[in-house]
Each structure stands twice: as C-alpha cells, then as structure tokens.
Structure 1
Amino acid sequence: AWVSYGLGTENRNLPSFIVIAPQTPYAGSQVWASDFLPGANQGTLVVPGPEPVANITPRVPMRTRQEMELAALERINRRHLAARDGDPQLAARIQSFETAFGMQMAVPEAFDLSKETDATLGLYGLERGSTRGFGWQCLVARRLVERGVRFVELLDVGSSNNWDAHGDMLTHGPLARNIDQPIAGLLRDLKSRGLLEETLVVWTTEFGRTPFNSSADHKGREHHNWGFSSWLAGAGVRAGTVYGETDEHGIRAAVNPVHVHDFHGTILHLMGLDHERLTYRHSGRDFRLTDIAGSVVRGLLA
C-alpha cells in the first residue's frame, strides 16, 4: 500500500497493487489492506482459476452505453462525496468503479497465457492451459509488471491453506517443492527479458520458526521473531550476498541484525522512495512506514 501511495500506477487500466492468492490467508484481507492510507492503495485480489477476476466481462454489450451509465454514476457519487466531507473510504469506493471499467479492457489480455511459448511455460513448471498453481501466479506476476503494475503480492497458502505447521514440520517439504521451480523460473524469465534490473523481487514472511522442538515428541515448530531469513533480488540488490548471521544455535540475529523498519526502508529505497520523506498525515501527525526508526541496509545495495 505504501508503494502504491508513493508511486501510483503506470497503467490507468490496472490497479497499482494486485494480490494473487488461491485462498484467503489466516490473517484475511488485512494482509493487503491499506490501513489509514487511502483505500485506493489497498491490494486488488485475484484468485487463480478460469475467471481470476470475477465479473470482468462487461454486463452491457455496448461500450458507449456503459460509459454513459458510469458517467451518470460518477456525477451522483461526487455529489454524495461532497456532502460527506470527502470521506477517504467513500472516495476509494468511487475510484474503484473507474478502475474496474479500465480492468475490463486490460485484464483479459494480461491474464491470457495462450501466447506464451512452451519454453516459457516450462520455466514455471506449467502445462498449457493451466490456470492455477504457484507457477501460474509467478507468470501472471511477470505479465502484470510488464504492463505497469507497481506491486504484485503472491501468497502461497499451500494445500493445507497455510504454512503454519505447528504440528508437523515435514508438511513443509511438499510446499517448498511446489514453489521452488516457479520462483527460480520467474527470476530467469525476468533476467532474460531485461526486467530484473528494474524489478525488485522480495521473498519473505512475517516471522520465522524456532530452530528446536518444544518437546521430544513434538514434530512442529513455534513462532520465532528473533532471527530468520528473507531474500531480495534485482533492482539494485547486490547479488550473491549473505548479510547477517544468527548465533551458533540459530536462535537470535547476532551479526548485522536487520529490523523490520530497516527492511522496509531498504525496499522503499530500492523502489526509488525515501522512507524518511514518504509520509501520510493521520490523526494529527505525519506517519511513515518506518515510524521514527529504520535505516537503509547499505550492505545489500549493488
């Protein structure tokens, strides 16, 4: 949402922030919500399948008639908004009608993989005609980036609806196999097209897992925020670099620890934004994504 707020979109017919997820994650839509930022900056959900964006086919067969309907609706909505002191959530709702109209033109082509070569589909582990799977999500993400979408969030919820394996860590094996080829294929594809230099790929999660079992007969892991790994590629990131270390037990970040504010500040920097200057006024003060802390991790920059 902050990247969307700071940069907007390069394609007025597509949202600046798109989320592709086969199912709603445990935390629900708050994973891509905009919080106190304008509602227009929240993610637009796409669900893999034959119709990834519901109701994308125009209800009215004549484009001119639909334009007349939307123009009339816009006038009514603007009067409604003016009488309510420009409520930001209402403004976002009004903006969504215009965005949806543009998506009717842009989405069918963006999600049509029929012109992709067999070699490209093979990179992602896809069979021709596939409309699901993490490979499909990655390939569609590349196509959306090519068409000017600023931020694409891919969620892999796995066959059990999440990676939250407290009970049995062995279930992570199949989940890892399902994403290994697609994400590698995405990086190769971006690089071969000259897109990796200007596209930042971030692989991360909200926290890690304990490096130990909580009891002798316990097969799972617990929540662990003291030390875990993320990786970045492209867009000015120093390739082949490992930054930071945990202690000898893998419990805490011991060398060059990176706080979440540092991580966010670095991502914004790589996107061309200054995390100390990108602010939004809310409840009487200016807010930053990095609050009052955070530093760009220079050791990660090329």
Structure 2
Amino acid sequence: MTPLALNRRSFLGGMSLSIGMPALQSLMAAETSALPHFPAKAKRVIYLMQSGGPSHVDLFDDKETLRQRQGEELPDSILQGLRQTTMTAGQKSKPCLAAAWNGSRRGESGMWVSDLLPYTAEIVDDLCFVRSVHGEQINHAPAMTQMLTGHNLPGRPSIGAWLTYGLGSIAEDLPSFVVMTSQDKGGSCGQLFFDYYWGSGFLPSKHQGVPFRSAGDPVLYLSNPKGISKSSRRDMLDALAEMNQHAHQRYADPEIETRISQYEMAFQMQASVPELTDFSDEPQSVLDMYGPDVKRKGSYAYNCLIARRLAERGTRFVQLMHAGWDQHGNLPNQLPIQCQDTDQPSAALIKDLKARGMLEDTLVIWGGEFGRTPFVQGDINNPKAHGRDHHPRAFTMWMAGGGIRPGTIFGSSDEFAFHVAEDPVHIRDLQATLMHLCGVDHERFTFRHQGLDFKLTGTEPARVVNEIINV
C-alpha cells in the first residue's frame, strides 16, 4: 500500500471519528435525558390514520344550513377566495352538498354520528370528538407529512420516531414502532404511502417504523434461508456483532450501534412475530367483534387486532394506514365501502382495549390528513359522478383512552362546516397534546441537527389542548 493510500485512509478515518463522536455523544446525552418530563397518562399510542380525508360533513358534522340550502351556491363570504385544489379551483359552480345519509345524536354526549358508522355510534361515550381541527395543506402528501411529522416537507422524524427515541422501548422482542397498511376491498382510490410517513428523519435510524407486510413473512427476511439453523444464525450474529463493535470503537458511528441492535431485534422477532400473528388463542367472541375480515391478512380488521396484540406485548407506537377515503367522485357508493371496512374494527379495538383494562393507558387516534368540502365536486345531479374535494380548514378527528376525557365534544365548525367557529385545534396542537399525554413536553424535547434545535411541533405556536384531558 502506498504512503498516499495510507495517508488518505488515516485522514478519512479521522474524519469519521471527528464527525461521529459528537453525534454519538449527542445521542447518548439525549437517550439518557430525563424523559418523560412528567408522569405519562398514555404508555402507548395506536394511530388509526384514515388516508385520503374522511368527509366530516357526511360522518360527524351534519349541518342544517347545508340541508336547507342544498344545491344553492356556497356564499362568497364563506369561500373568501381561499385557495382550492386544481380539481375545483376552475369549477365555476360550488353548490352546497348536505350529508347524503341520515344520522342521530348518540350517547350521553349527544354526538351526531352518521348511520354509516353504527359501531362507532355505540362507543361515542368512550370517545372525544374534536370538530375544529385545521391545517394549511390542501394536497395529500404534504398534508399527511405535516400530520405525521410536523412539517409539510419530507425529512423530519415521524411522531412514532420522536416518541420511541425519547421514551425508549418497552418490548425486548418486538419493535417499538410498527406500521401496517391496508386498502378497502372495494377498490376505492388510495393514495401512495411513502416511507417517510414513518421515517426517523435525522434521528438514529433504529427509531423508524418497522412495516409489517400483508403477505408472506410479516417482516422481510424474517425466516432463515434453507439450510440455516437457529443456532448457526445465532453464532453468525454473535460474530457479526463482535466485528461491528470493533468498527464502532474505531469510528464511533452511532449507526453501527443501530445495526447491531436491529440484527438482534430481528433474531428475537423470529420467535415473537409468529406468536403475535397466531390468532388461535383469541376467543371466537373477540374475532367476531372485529368483523368478518379479521383473519384476512392485510385487511383493516386484521391490522386492528394485530395492533391490540402489539400494544399488550409492549410496542409503544402502532400506526395503521388505511387508504381509500379520497372520494372526489362516486361519493354515494364509495364512502359506504370505506365505512364498512373500518367502522366495526375501529370500534372493536376500543371495546377490546377497554375490556382488557388497557384503554386507560393506551391513546387511540382516528382521523385523516384533512376533511372534505361542504360543496360538491362535479355535477350535483349525477350521484355517480360527484364527490367532495380536500378541505383542511375545519374537520373532525376522534381520540380515546390514554388520559383523554371520554364523551367529550370539543370545538365546532361554522354553519357550513367550512371554517372553525370556536376552539380551533391546529395540527400542531394535536401533536403537542399527544406528546403531553405520553409525558413529554413538546417545547423541551428537541434534537440538535445541523446547528438547530428541532422539535416535532416546529417553530410556530402550539398548545396542549387541556380541555380534552382528564384531570
């Protein structure tokens, strides 16, 4: 080897050490910081993300004004010249479109719920409905990115990554952050799921969500190749860990530690995941509660039951992504399909957690990246060709358990379900509240990256919505 090569090697090695050691020291300091900041009400989170934008007007926020003015133009005083998507910006007529389905006020809370959601209607007194959620993004990807990472541009850590980084793992043989995706069997339009929706951003990569697949092994390469026994795999991983430890001592790269821990987690999962996905120990009554699709791998019902099983085994953050709520056309046919797929399993998850005494310290969140417009997209006289466009200015989400005050309705939209009328809750406020329930002060929990102290809720004002939290 030439002196030049030796010098280059020494130089690059020194560069790796000089860059890696501060990062490792920062990582170790953050991981040993005093989190949680205060006693947590929620030990774990299950986020039921309804991708595409469920129609708050049709499902939760019925307006008599829209019924009275059905087919009339939405007043300019309501539209206010606000930016619309390209799908309706050029649409000259924007007639009011009331909910196409009946509903009624349910439970002691008196929450109006559409007849499309009969199972959700049964549990309204366990839920908190926030009818004044709002954001700025009018297209799916940036709205979803903001909802799940705190910023509309990719590259920031997701909520699950922030929490698992700050609070650590509970389970030793399962990931602390798991993601599952599904789409309704009716073939409704589904948005793409990008991996940065559950990414770790600039946090150590071991905190990114682990996707569970709907076919084959739940996790890629979980099974040993033919001819490889468990003992030989153990020997190989031990030898590999020793080599990686030597590399870490030399270069102090925190990603080497991530690689070691992830290899070990994969080995543990070879035993824990098959047991996790084996429903033979579930009573038939529980399977029936989740509905007829519960045994169909990759269905929303299947994923909801897996979410409960993950939660009771110590997974801290479970993120379910269900596509198909993007009804720009054929709303009367497609919206019922989505509700049939998700209503019973969502309600069953709440009932199941409650029956096991887990709802008290498990925070469940249901909602999309935005709602839908109270005016029609397309021809109002042609039900098979009309729908609703994206609407981030006022929409509804619900939460349950984990310190949330049950049977609560918070906030409201105006008479057209277009703007927030009272008690606005920005997406950042939701994120701050989620962190607070998990014992984390969103203002104090930061990570230094490229000379800046980043936090989930960003630099704009955000508040904890104390009004929906049990004292």
TM-score (structure 2 length as normaliser): 0.59
User: Is the alpha carbon distance of 1:138 and 1:129 closer, same or farther for their aligned partners in structure 2, counting shifts above 3 Å?
Assistant: closer
Distance 2:279 2:228 in 1: 25
The C-alpha deviation readout for 1:125-156, integer Å capped at 9, x for no partner, is 14685434211111111000000000001111
Alignment-mate amino acid for residue 361 of structure 2 = E
User: Is the alpha carbon distance of 1:258 and 1:128 closer, same or farther for their aligned partners in structure 2, counting shifts above 3 Å?
Assistant: closer
1:248 aligns with 2:415: yes
Deviation of residue 201 (structure 1)?
0.3
Q: Which moved more, 1:68-77 or 1:169-178?
A: 68-77
- Spell out the pairing of 1:127-166 with structure 2 (5 A cutoff): 129-157=295-323, 162-166=324-328
1:76 aligns with 2:238: no
Deviation of residue 54 (structure 1)?
3.2
Deviation of residue 163 (structure 1)?
2.1
- Spell out the pairing of 1:160-239 with structure 2 (5 A cutoff): 162-170=324-332, 171-217=334-380, 219-239=386-406
Could you say which residue in structure 2 is the equivalent of 1:299? Answer: 467
Deviation of residue 57 (structure 1)?
2.4
Alignment-mate amino acid for residue 322 of structure 2 = D
Distance 1:205 1:91 in 2: 35
Unaligned runs of 5+ in 2: 1-160, 184-189
Distance 2:293 2:365 in 1: 26
Distance 2:192 2:339 in 1: 19
Distance 2:294 2:191 in 1: 27
- Give 3-state SS (helix, strand or coil) of 1:45's partner: strand
Could you say which residue in structure 2 is the equivalent of 1:2? Answer: 162
- Once superposed, what is the RMSD of the aligned Cα atoms? 2.2
Could you say which residue in structure 2 is the equivalent of 1:104? Answer: 270
Task: Decide which of 35, 57, 66 is 2:201's aligned counterpart.
Answer: 35
1:290 aligns with 2:457: yes
Greater relative contact order: 1 or 2 (C-alpha under 8 angstroms, separation 6 or more)? 2
- Give 3-state SS (helix, strand or coil) of 1:156's partner: strand
1:264 aligns with 2:431: yes
User: Is the alpha carbon distance of 1:265 and 1:36 closer, same or farther for their aligned partners in structure 2, counting shifts above 3 Å?
Assistant: same
- Give 3-state SS (helix, strand or coil) of 1:200's partner: strand
Task: Decide which of 215, 219, 234 is 1:67's aligned counterpart.
Answer: 234
Deviation of residue 191 (structure 1)?
0.5
Distance 2:285 2:215 in 1: 22
Q: Which moved more, 1:17-26 or 1:250-259?
A: 17-26
Distance 2:347 2:295 in 1: 21
Unaligned runs of 5+ in 1: none
- Asked if the contact 2:173/2:269 (under 8 Å) is kept, the reply is yes
- Spell out the pairing of 1:14-33 with structure 2 (5 A cutoff): 14-22=174-182, 26-33=192-199
Structure with the higher fraction of residues in strand conformation: 2
Q: Which structure is larger by alpha-carbon Rg, 1 or 2?
A: 2
Distance 1:87 1:212 in 2: 52
Deviation of residue 13 (structure 1)?
1.2
Distance 2:162 2:260 in 1: 20
User: Is the alpha carbon distance of 1:54 and 1:126 closer, same or farther for their aligned partners in structure 2, counting shifts above 3 Å?
Assistant: farther
Alignment-mate amino acid for residue 462 of structure 2 = G
- Asked if the contact 2:181/2:298 (under 8 Å) is kept, the reply is no
The C-alpha deviation readout for 1:64-113, integer Å capped at 9, x for no partner, is 3212211222233344456655164x554443212211111211111111
